[in-house]
Structure 1
Amino acid sequence: MTKQLNVLTEEQVNQFLTDGYLVVKDLFSQEDIRTIEDTFEEISHTTVPGLFEPDLSGEVEDPLKRYPRVMHPHRFNDTAKQYLLHEPVMAVLADLYGEEALAAQSMFYYKPPGSRGQALHQDNFYLQVEPGNCIAAWTAIDAANEENGGLLIVPKTSAHEISCPELADSTESFTTHYVKPPKDQKAMPVIMDKGDVLFFNGNLIHGSYRNKTKDQFRRAFICHYANASATHISNHYRPLFRQDGTPVDLEINTDGGPCGIEFETAYPH
């Protein structure tokens, strides 16, 4: 990195560049985490057409029907937008990119007890940030581990090209795409404390376990970002935002990625 670092050490940046991921602590205060918890607890009792549509009947067998993920909460909730643009997170991203980051997406996962995980996949297959790459900031609102459905990553796969996915096992994954790790490389769990933030490269193969507990949610606030020098992104993620909230419209990436336009409708992120 030639640009002077603001918040990270050279060792941290080198780990991200080598392994494709980095866990950073203390970017959110306990008050921040409580605010996020309270905000999404309130949202969980509402319906937002196209972005959050829970089954509130009380008669569902699949826990993800009652608690689906919230898509783009920053588009309808000011608190979600505030934390999408959280200055400590944006500062880390600026060090990882070597330039300003643009916020492209927010999500919230409730991951209730018994719910399926998400098959291994690569984020930039969907975001299609060019030139450059997306980076995810995955914040643990609850401690995440192997029992409650914590995240799985395949280290160093950030150096691999985007792969065309296979069909996932629907009994274990709520999404349909599965990317097989390279030969002799295996997924490993990332054990996270409440409030930890995992940053990872858009090519890194990752997914999550099923929540095997009977009484623990595994909530996470997940945001995706693009480098300011990017010119194209998938249409689903526009507009993007600078840290000060100014909207930025990149060009729509229309080529469908490496596997063609038929995959564009999948939109799992």
Structure 2
Amino acid sequence: MSAGDSAGTKSASVVLHETVDDALIEQIREDGFGVLKNALTPDEVAEINLEGVRLCRGDLGEIRDGFQASAEESDDDVMRRYLCIHFPNKLSQVIARSFHHPRIVDVLTRLIGPNVKAMQSMLFVKAEGKPGQAWHQDEFFIPTRDRSLTAAWIALDDATIENGCLWVLPGSHRRGVLYPDREQDDERFDCAVELYDFPYQDEDAVPVEIPAGAAVIFNGYLLHRSLPNSGRHGFRRALANHYMSAESLLPWRRVPDDVHVAKWDYRDVVLVAGQDPYAYKGTIDVGPALRAAHR
């Protein structure tokens, strides 16, 4: 990890906030993350987990790079083949509705502003032995024009150190700097790049152990990672939805040849609160071009 100058990392405890109050909003702004307890009810968690089974079995539609499940395979065996499914909202109305969950939207409008849009969902299905993700910042993958990217990482199982919960570097979002990236071949992590040369050490990281139904709300510049599911049995499932200000353009994906880079605005978005100032552009639906990750 880096050798840079000390950034004054502040020790942060993982507080489970029962309500969307000033303390939760202040912690997210100060530390870059906060936890909303009971963001989803047990019934809502169970409904999404059932959708996860149906997605992995192919019952809701085709998943690019997915597997053909046989009737003889158990649900758990089918799910163990997967690590992550990108854009499950494209096939699941249940997951699509989660974008608009009032408890989470309440946090987002207080953090981001009255106009909020969503652009991505990711369903993590991390079984025993599956890897985590190396240090990264979500803004590295989903750039905004105004640093408004915010994730809602919803635990669908109790997330523990043993089964691969999130680890965060508190305060690492404050500079608004995207750190350098490099390829990595650490067996603890999937094949995504890792960020490096930042002024924090692994020892500064805080594990975010939370119960099913709780949501970690965190800033797009926050450095975070996860480690493998080293448990002897069970999954560490999570649904991660990504949001940003509807007042910001979304310069995501490859810029078309006939569009000036300053005007590029990816429009496969869903408005979840307020108004979209760019509604005159219309929206697109890339369709069920989901893809699965297995390692």
Paired residue for 2:151, among 108, 118, 136?
136
Change (3 A) 1:11 1:49: closer
Distance 1:157 1:181 in 2: 13
Distance 1:75 1:245 in 2: 22
Conserved 8 A contact 1:181-1:205: no
Paired residue for 2:252, among 193, 215, 234?
234
* AA matched with 2:215: V
Change (3 A) 1:194 1:176: same
Moved more, 235-244 or 204-213: 235-244
Distance 1:71 1:250 in 2: 28
Conserved 8 A contact 2:147-2:220: no
1:1-269 equivalences under 5 Å are: 8-46=20-58, 48-50=62-64, 53-54=66-67, 56=69, 66-160=81-175, 161-180=177-196, 182-185=198-201, 186-235=204-253, 238-243=267-272
Moved more, 105-114 or 92-101: 92-101
How far the C-alpha of 1:112 sits from its partner, in A, is 0.5
Q: Deviations over 1:128-168 (max 9, x none)?
A: 11123210000000001110011111110111301121222
Moved more, 177-186 or 139-148: 177-186
Compare CA radii of gyration and give the structure with the larger one.
2
Percent identical among aligned pairs is 26
- Say which SS state the counterpart of residue 243 (structure 2) adopts: strand
Using CA pairs under 8 Å that are at least 6 residues apart, name the structure with larger relative contact order, 1 or 2.
2
Moved more, 204-213 or 98-107: 98-107
Distance 2:169 2:132 in 1: 16
TM-score by length of 2: 0.74
Moved more, 236-245 or 17-26: 236-245
How far the C-alpha of 1:244 sits from its partner, in A, is 7.2
Distance 1:245 1:112 in 2: 38
Conserved 8 A contact 1:232-1:250: no
Distance 2:96 2:122 in 1: 11
Conserved 8 A contact 1:122-1:203: yes
How far the C-alpha of 1:91 sits from its partner, in A, is 1.4
Q: Deviations over 1:20-55 (max 9, x none)?
A: 0010012211111111111111111116243x6136
Q: Deviations over 1:52-97 (max 9, x none)?
A: 6136488xxxx99811311101112211101122122111110111
Runs of 5+ consecutive residues of structure 1 not aligned to the other structure: 1-6, 252-267
Q: State the 4+ residue runs in structure 1 displaced beyond 4 angstroms.
A: 55-58, 244-251
TM-score by length of 1: 0.81
Conserved 8 A contact 1:106-1:223: yes
Q: CA RMSD in A?
A: 2.7
Alignment: residue pair count: 241
